Each structure stands twice: as structure tokens, then as C-alpha cells.
């Protein structure tokens, strides 16, 4: 297994990206704050939904200081349609930390980025690469699949060796474009099943394509009991009801929601309260509003 990529492979990827890379509104931004917003939005969310929401969010909160001083309820309302609402609170908290600890400027050091709420190793590396031009390789699901196939085919790689390979592959002159290119290849060509190897700029150097390794079949579930109804849906409906209420006003929420009985709904409300997404009225716990 050779975990290095020749310069010709890097050039082929960048030429492919220049010709066919996805055009997304946030990719035109060089503002570290704007990139931070896009990367947090992209966590667990389809890129098409991020593209549709990013510009409006940036118009509402154009700087990190504006976001930091905004009520959490306003941030949660602006986040509507993106799901996983805890990310909105984490972004809000990250903005406050940036103002309090870094003078309102998004820090460039990986260690500082990873200390921000909601920013893990991948997002920190994405910011370091895209916003600050550092030679670090963020590894998400798509990038992991591309690198494993190119470098190792079906041989095992540890997360440490994969991260080292990702960092080593980054060209010094275009780290941001390289990061975007690998993400695009993984999202559009190097798919989990039925990859379009004939269209891939890395085909000539890819161990997976060269060996003709079959795409591993997804294991069939055996003796798996049906999942119990989760609370993700009802949590989303609760937050949406509170978003629809006028800012600062209390909303009466008492009874079932959809197929979820009052006990399940109350449990979801309690979890949302503990996460800081909503507030209960002190005198009547049936009255709720978004966190302020």
C-alpha cells in the first residue's frame, strides 16, 4: 500500500475541479466567518439545502459579532429547514466564544478551532484549509471513501494513517480547491455503490479501479427488530411550532403530536429544554417558547 499521491494525480484532480467542480454560493466567500457558517450547516445536511439557506442566514447575521449578540430564538428561526437544531445553538455559542476569546475574529489554529462549540476535527480542518489556506486535509465520509479506494483499495487503514495521508496529499498552492475537489469527487463520482470510475480524475492512480475490486455489498440486516418510533420527528415539529409563534410569546403545547402520545411529547420537550433549545413557563410548563 502506497499512501502517497504523485504530483500528476494532484494536477489531474485540480484540472477536473476547474472544469467541473460544483458551483455553490458559499464557495465564493473568503470570509472565515461565512465559511464557518457553511461548514456547520453542512454537518449532516445535504449540500443543496445548505446552498439554499446560507445566503439568507448571512444576510440576517452578516458578521460574527451580529450573530453573537442576536437572541438564540432568532438564530433558531433562521435555521428552519436545516434540521439538527442543536447545530444552530452551537454556532451561536461558537460566535460568542469567538467574540469573547478571539476579539471577534475566527481563529486559524486547529487547536483553537477545535475548542469552539460544535467544531470537531473535520470542521476544524475544513476551516483551516478553506479559510486560512493551511495544508490540512479534512476527512468526511466522502473524502474517506475516495482516499481509501485510491490509496488502499480494500486494505485496512486506521483513522490515524488515513488522516496522515489526507494531510500529505494536500497541494501547497491550492489547499482549498483540493478540499472542495475531493468532496465533489466523493459526492458525485466515487459513490458508495456503482462508482463512476470512468469519469474520475484519479482513475489512473486508484488502487480500487486498477484492481477492479468489487464494491462491497452492504450487509443484509438479520433478525433486526423494527426501530421504535424515534423522537427526531416530534422534536422538529415542536421547534417548528415555536418558530411560528411571534418572537418572545409563549405557545401552549398540550397533547399528542402526530402519532406521538403526550408522554412521548413531554419527554421530547424535556430533552429540548435540557439542550437549551426551548424554555418552559415557570408557572405553566405547558407554555413554551424558543430559548432567548
Q: Is the pLDDT of residue 231 over 90?
A: no
235 neighbors 268 (Cβ within 8 angstroms): yes
Average pLDDT over the chain, rounded to an integer: 88
Neighbours of 168 (CB within 10 A): 12
- Which among 282, 279, 276, 283 has a CA at the least distance from the CA of 88? 276
Q: Is the pLDDT of residue 218 over 80?
A: no
CATH 3.40.50.1400 fits 7-21+137-211, yes or no: no
- What integer pLDDT is reported at residue 214 of this predicted model? 46
Catalytic residues: 39
Task: List the chain domain ranges.
Answer: 7-21+137-211, 25-132, 232-282
Q: CATH number for the 25-132 domain, one of 1.25.40.10, 1.10.340.30, 3.40.50.720, 1.10.8.60? A: 1.10.340.30
- What integer pLDDT is reported at residue 261 of this predicted model? 85
Segment 2-16, tens digit of pLDDT: 457 889 999 999 999
Compute the average pLDDT of residues 152-177.
88
Annotate the chain with DSSP letters as a single string.
------HHHHHHHHHHHHHH----GGGG---HHHHHHHHHHHTTS-HHHHHHHHHHHHHHS-SHHHHHHS-HHHHHHHTTTS--THHHHHHHHHHHHHHHHHTTS---SHHHHHTSTT--HHHHHHHHHHHH--S-----HHHHHHHIIIIITTS---HHHHHHHHHHHS-SS-HHHHHHHHHHHHHHTS-SSS--GGG-TTGGG-HHHHHTPPPPPPPPP-SPPPPPPPSHHHHHHHHHHHHHSPTT--EE--S-BTTB-HHHHHHHHHHHHHTTSEEE-SS-TTEEEE--
Amino acid at each position: 500500500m502506497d499512501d502517497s499521491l504523485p504530483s500528476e494525480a494532484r494536477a489531474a484532480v485540480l484540472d477536473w475541479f476547474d472544469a467541473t467542480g460544483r458551483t455553490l454560493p458559499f464557495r465564493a466567500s473568503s470570509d472565515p466567518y461565512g465559511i464557518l457558517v457553511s461548514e456547520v450547516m453542512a454537518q449532516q445536511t445535504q449540500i443543496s439545502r445548505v446552498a439554499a439557506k446560507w445566503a439568507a442566514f448571512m444576510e440576517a447575521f452578516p458578521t460574527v459579532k451580529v450573530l453573537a449578540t442576536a437572541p438564540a430564538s432568532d438564530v433558531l428561526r433562521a435555521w428552519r429547514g436545516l434540521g439538527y437544531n442543536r447545530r444552530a445553538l452551537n454556532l451561536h455559542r461558537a460566535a460568542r466564544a469567538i467574540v469573547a476569546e478571539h476579539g471577534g475574529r475566527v481563529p486559524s489554529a486547529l487547536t483553537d478551532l477545535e475548542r469552539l462549540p460544535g467544531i470537531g476535527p473535520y470542521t476544524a480542518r475544513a476551516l483551516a484549509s478553506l479559510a486560512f489556506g493551511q495544508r490540512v486535509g479534512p476527512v468526511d465520509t466522502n473524502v474517506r471513501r475516495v482516499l481509501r479506494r485510491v490509496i488502499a483499495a480494500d486494505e485496512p487503514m486506521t483513522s490515524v494513517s488515513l488522516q496522515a495521508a489526507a494531510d500529505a496529499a494536500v497541494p501547497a498552492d491550492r489547499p482549498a480547491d483540493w478540499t472542495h475537489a475531493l468532496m465533489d469527487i466523493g459526492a458525485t463520482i466515487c459513490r458508495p455503490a456503482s462508482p463512476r470510475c470512468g469519469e474520475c480524475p484519479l482513475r489512473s492512480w486508484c488502487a480500487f479501479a486498477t484492481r477492479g475490486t468489487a464494491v462491497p455489498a452492504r450487509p443484509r440486516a438479520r433478525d433486526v427488530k423494527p426501530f421504535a418510533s424515534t423522537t427526531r420527528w416530534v422534536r422538529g415539529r415542536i421547534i417548528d411550532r415555536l418558530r411560528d409563534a411571534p418572537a418572545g410569546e409563549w405557545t401552549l403545547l398540550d397533547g399528542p403530536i402526530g402519532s406521538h402520545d403526550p408522554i412521548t411529547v413531554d419527554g421530547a420537550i424535556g430533552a429540548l429544554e435540557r439542550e437549551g433549545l426551548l424554555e418552559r413557563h415557570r408557572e405553566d410548563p405547558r407554555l413554551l417558547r424558543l430559548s432567548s
